[in-house]
């Protein structure tokens, strides 16, 4: 979410992180067809706190929460250093990454695929997608906007809706 960086540590609570991880796991299953989701979790501090040398949130809050969720069957990696978890080999080891603040997640996404990035709001009773780069008000009406992300958002919404319809049909034992 969009909050000042100085407010992130106070906003990060065990309940918020637990809910985010549950919502992410459930959405991977329901909306994306991932039967056994693997989720990478970033640390809050540089180098994931480096064992308390750069912050204690990882050791005191994030790691214990991840351990509790692992005991429930979650497949979680982390807390991981945000500066090493997005290269291609690292990404091959997980289905989704949960980050602790806006730019920690959005910088790698926009670097990897700026034009095709899609914002998905998970945990809603309906599908909600949008272009990841925002509304581009600064170039509105100039005929220079790139529609790639909008098209990707519409395709992802369709795919997610199809997955939900398929899951609903399977749950009811018939077609909808």
Whether residue 153 contacts residue 129, with contact meaning beta carbons closer than 8 Å, is answered with: yes
Sign, Cα dihedral of 120, 121, 126, 131? negative
pLDDT at 136: 78
Residue 39 above 80 pLDDT?
yes
Do 4 and 69 lie in one domain? The reply is: yes
pLDDT value for 176: 43
Could you tell me if 75 and 120 lie in one domain?
Answer: no
pLDDT over 70 for what percent of the chain? 96
Question: What pLDDT does 114 receive?
Answer: 87
Statement to judge: residues 68 and 132 lie in one domain: no
Q: Are residues 72 and 118 in the same domain?
A: no
For the chain, give the number of residues. 176
Domain stops at, among 86, 113, 140: 113
Q: How far apart are CA 25 and CA 95, in angstroms?
A: 10
Residues 102, 121, single domain; the answer is: no
* φ, ψ at 97 (rounded to 5°): -115, 135
Range of the domain at 39: 1-113
Residues 30 and 105 in one domain: yes
Q: Please give the mean pLDDT across all residues of the chain.
A: 93
Domain boundary among 59, 78, 113: 113
pLDDT given for residue 175 in this prediction: 47
Domain co-membership, 84 together with 125 = no
How high is the pLDDT of residue 101?
A: 96
d(CA 80, CA 164): 31
pLDDT tens-digit series, residues 72-110:
999 999 999 999 999 999 999 999 999 999 999 999 999
pLDDT in tens, 154-171: 999 999 999 999 877 766
Q: What is the mean pLDDT of residues 123-152?
A: 89
Q: Is the pLDDT reported for residue 174 higher than 60?
A: no
Is the same domain home to 104 and 163?
A: no
What sign does the CA torsion over 164, 162, 130, 35 have?
Answer: positive
Residue 101 and residue 55 in one domain: yes
**What was the pLDDT predicted at 137?**
83
User: Among residues 113, 140, 155, which one ends one of the domains?
Assistant: 113
User: Is residue 124 domain-shared with residue 103, that is, in the same domain?
Assistant: no
In 10 A of CB 116, how many CB atoms? 17
Split into its structural domains, the chain has a count of 2
């Amino acid at each position: 979410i969009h909050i000042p960086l100085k407010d992130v540590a106070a906003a990060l609570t065990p309940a918020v992180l637990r809910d985010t991880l549950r919502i992410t796991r459930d959405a991977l299953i329901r909306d994306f067809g991932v039967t056994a989701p693997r989720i990478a979790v970033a640390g809050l501090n540089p180098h994931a706190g480096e064992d308390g040398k750069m912050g204690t949130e990882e050791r005191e809050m994030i790691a214990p929460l991840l351990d509790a969720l692992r005991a429930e069957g979650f497949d979680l990696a982390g807390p991981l250093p945000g500066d090493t978890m997005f290269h291609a080999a690292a990404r091959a080891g997980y289905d989704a990454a949960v980050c602790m603040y806006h730019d920690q997640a959005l910088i790698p996404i926009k670097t990897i695929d700026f034009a095709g990035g899609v914002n998905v709001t998970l945990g809603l009773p309906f599908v909600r997608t949008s272009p990841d780069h925002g509304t581009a008000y600064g170039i509105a009406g100039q005929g220079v906007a790139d529609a790639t992300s909008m098209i990707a958002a519409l395709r992802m919404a369709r795919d997610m809706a199809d997955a939900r319809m398929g899951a609903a049909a399977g749950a009811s034992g018939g077609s909808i």
